[in-house]
A and B are shown apart, each in its own frame.
Chain A
């Protein structure tokens, strides 16, 4: 695929890529945008090469996931070594961005809060299947997992998500 064709494909998948980058960055918009820019640069400069073993979308999502992990590690190191170490504060747990949460509707907010309780792998598999309309096989490719492992994360994640959503639903009923 030539440079122009690659750029067109990236543009076509841009919205979906942003959604996936948001999930990989715990719904922090700034981080997601940065990760997406770095990913595009990697792809367009040839530092990440598409080998054709999977679909372009699956491959691109894999690159975004790895880039987000790299950025997260860098940020963590910075926090751990300098700020947190000096202040003696604990590393913040996974939680969706409060700003993003505030702008979401009640249903979406419940979903985001329930997703935050799941493990990262479960959250990623569910997002890829339900949000990005990928199959479990494709999700396994994006996450570099065995198909069996991805299926296990998918089933357990669904069960856990339903449980959390039911809990939040009953809580909101009580409040009314």
Chain B
């Protein structure tokens, strides 16, 4: 700070003189209403946290329990075996019928492939004619 700052100091001093009488009276709370401040122990904090957690868990449980669908009286409960997944139709790929059967050429009946005819019984000890080279 330099001596040249005296002008600013005077201005601030004038402002201070003006503001000082406007200050409210110093009032502190009466001693009876003052409670000694005790630092909270970690055990208390832990207990409070556990209590809050228990309340939150109970609230969550009640919320899920109230949203659970209840079976109507008199209505039979559907078995789990009857349940079909909603994405089951995805398994019905195009041409699945073609893959399920072995196609036979020229055996198309009514737009679908006819089943394979039953295999003919094999002859016993078939004579295989061997070609003899000269």
Contact partner of A33 (CB less than 8 A), chosen from B1, B12, B24, B29, is B24
Q: How large is the interface on B (under 10, 10 to 19, 20 to 34, 35 or more residues)?
A: 20 to 34
B14 engages A44 (CB within 8 Å): no
For B22, what are the chain A residues with a Cβ–Cβ distance below 8 Å?
18, 29
B35 to chain A, nearest CB (A): 8
B18 engages A111 (CB within 8 Å): no
State the main secondary structure of chain B at its contact with A: helix
Binds A, one of B3-11, B62-70, B123-131: B3-11
B20 engages A45 (CB within 8 Å): no
A11 engages B12 (CB within 8 Å): no
A47 engages B37 (CB within 8 Å): yes
- A sample of 30 inter-chain contacts (CB < 8 A) reads A7-B28, A11-B26, A11-B28, A14-B26, A15-B23, A18-B22, A18-B23, A19-B16, A19-B19, A19-B20, A19-B23, A36-B24, A40-B28, A41-B29, A44-B28, A44-B34, A45-B37, A47-B37, A104-B18, A108-B14, A111-B15, A112-B15, A126-B8, A130-B8, A130-B12, A130-B13, A131-B12, A131-B16, A158-B5, A162-B8
Query: B residues touching A (Cβ–Cβ < 8 Å)?
Result: 1, 5, 8-9, 11-16, 18-20, 22-24, 26, 28-29, 34-35, 37
Query: A residues touching B (Cβ–Cβ < 8 Å)?
Result: 7, 10-11, 14-15, 18-19, 22, 29, 33, 36, 40-41, 44-47, 104-105, 107-108, 111-112, 126-127, 129-131, 136, 158, 161-162, 165
